[in-house]
Amino acid sequence: MAKIYEALNWASSFLMKNGREQHAAELLLRHYTGMDRAALFASFHAGLPDETMQSFQEGIALHVKGMPVQYIIGSEEFYGRTFQVNEHVLIPRPETEELVFEAIKRIGSLFNQEDVLEVVDAGTGTGAIAITIKLELPALNVTASDISVAALNVAKNNARNLGADLQFIHGDLLKPFIEAGQKFDVILSNPPYIPLRDIDGMSEVVKDHEPHLALFAGDDGLDIYRRFMAELPLVVKDKALIGFEIGAGQSDDVAALLKKTFPDADVDVVYDINRKDRIVFAYIS
């Protein structure tokens, strides 16, 4: 029977030799043992049951072949909460936490606290944005939409597990709301924004496993933003906040699209912790 530290050392070395992050070893071992980080390191010299070691080895092998750790363990942390993930949804990223944080800050400063605001997260995926916004600001009426039924099912499960009361709508971007005549105070989205031309340079962990529907958006990565510009004027209230996550280097283009669509809007760009342009907001008043 291998000791926990021996299993961890083997996995870390194996991952490094195969060009994968060594930290995945700890994440996977914690998953298969059911231990948190403190318990795992406190049990360093304990034996690892053979069946647990076998599962751990299989998980390491899957990751070496390219499967994201989050899909293997079935979850990812976002804004201090655990979200279930599978191959039908994009894995939540720290950059998107910044979109949520900045949106919450702006909602608090731009709108009257007594107003009941209507919020939509278009292209919700795991539901990370919509669920987090609702749990952080429970007074909001939050709707989450996605073109993928499979993704919506993941988001619904996450909302149920985390105790968030949302509305879920199946549809393509904002079309279901246009058809229903529904308008919103806040529209948020982390849409696909990777240019198709970048696919060859991407890690196979991303391009071969995460849903392309949630990743790629035409030759320049701006196709979905252009579609938003045609639909947004039909669903925003007279006073509204629009917030997009963007790819690094896209802020000028997305800001210009918003300015053209809403000439009187205040448009600003937010840079992430890596000093890359990552979020664009437009405030209409």
Is 126 annotated as ligand-binding?
A: yes
119 domain residue, yes or no: yes
Cα 208 from Cα 23, distance rounded (Å): 21
- Cα(231)–Cα(166) distance, rounded to whole angstroms? 22
**CA terminus-to-terminus distance, the chain:** 66
Is 201 a residue whose pLDDT tops 90? no
Instruction: Tell which of 65, 87, 115 closes a domain.
Output: 65
Three-state secondary structure call for residue 240? strand
Q: Which domain range does residue 117 map to? A: 76-284
Residue 250 is assigned to a structural domain of this protein: yes
Please compute the mean of the pLDDT values over residues 188-201 and round it to a whole number.
66
Same domain, 173 and 274: yes
Residue at 70 is within a domain: no
Same domain, 45 and 145: no
Collect all residues with Cβ–Cβ distance below 8 Å to 212 and sequence separation of at least 6.
Answer: none
Of 221, 285, 284, 271, the residue nearest 99 (C-alpha): 271
> Among all chains, which residue has been given the structure tokens 């991407």?
202
Q: Are residues 145 and 106 in the same domain?
A: yes
Q: How much is the pLDDT for 108?
A: 92
What's the residue count for the chain?
Answer: 285
Residue 71 belongs to some domain of the structure: no
Query: Binding residue per annotation — 176?
Result: no
> Is residue 61 located within the same domain as residue 80?
no
CATH of residue 149 = 3.40.50.150
Beta bridge partners of 242: 187, 282
Residues 170 and 145 in one domain: yes
* pTM (2 d.p.): 0.88
pLDDT tier at 224, thresholds 50, 70, 90: confident
From the CB of residue 213, how many other CB atoms can be counted at a distance below 10 Å?
Answer: 17
181 assigned to some structural domain: yes
Structure confidence at residue 247 as a pLDDT band (50, 70, 90): confident
To the question of whether residue 94 is assigned a binding role by annotation, the answer is: no
Give mean pLDDT, residues 158-176.
Answer: 96
Is residue 210 in some structural domain?
Answer: yes
Q: Is 193 annotated as a binding residue?
A: yes
For residues 148-165, average pLDDT: 97
The answer on 222 and 143 residing in a single domain is yes
Q: Is the pLDDT of residue 196 over 80?
A: no
User: How far is residue 140's CA from residue 103's CA, in Å, rounded to a whole number?
Assistant: 13
Q: Note whether 24 and 110 are same-domain residues.
A: no
Same domain, 236 and 162: yes
Chosen domain end from 65, 89, 104: 65
- Mean pLDDT, to the nearest integer, of 151-177? 96
The reply to whether 274 falls in a domain is: yes
pLDDT given for residue 212 in this prediction: 52
Residue 190 within a domain: yes
Is pLDDT of 41 > 90? no
* pLDDT given at position 232: 97
β-strand 184-189 against 118-122: which pairing, if any? parallel
Helix (H) or strand (E) holding 128: helix 128-136
Number of domains comprising the chain: 2
What mean pLDDT do residues 246-265 have? Answer: 92
Looking at the structure, do residues 36 and 136 belong to the same domain, yes or no?
Answer: no
Same domain, 270 and 171: yes
Say whether 158 counts as a known binding-site residue. no
Question: String of b and e for 151-176 (b: at least 16 CB within 10 Å)?
Answer: bbebbeebbeebebebebbebebbbb
Together in a domain, 225 and 130: yes
5 is in an annotated binding site: no
| Per-residue pLDDT reduced to its tens digit, 4-40 | 999 999 999 999 999 898 999 999 999 999 999 999 9
Percent of the chain with pLDDT over 70: 89
pLDDT category, 87, cuts 50, 70, 90? confident
Based on the domain organization, do 55 and 84 belong to the same domain? Answer: no
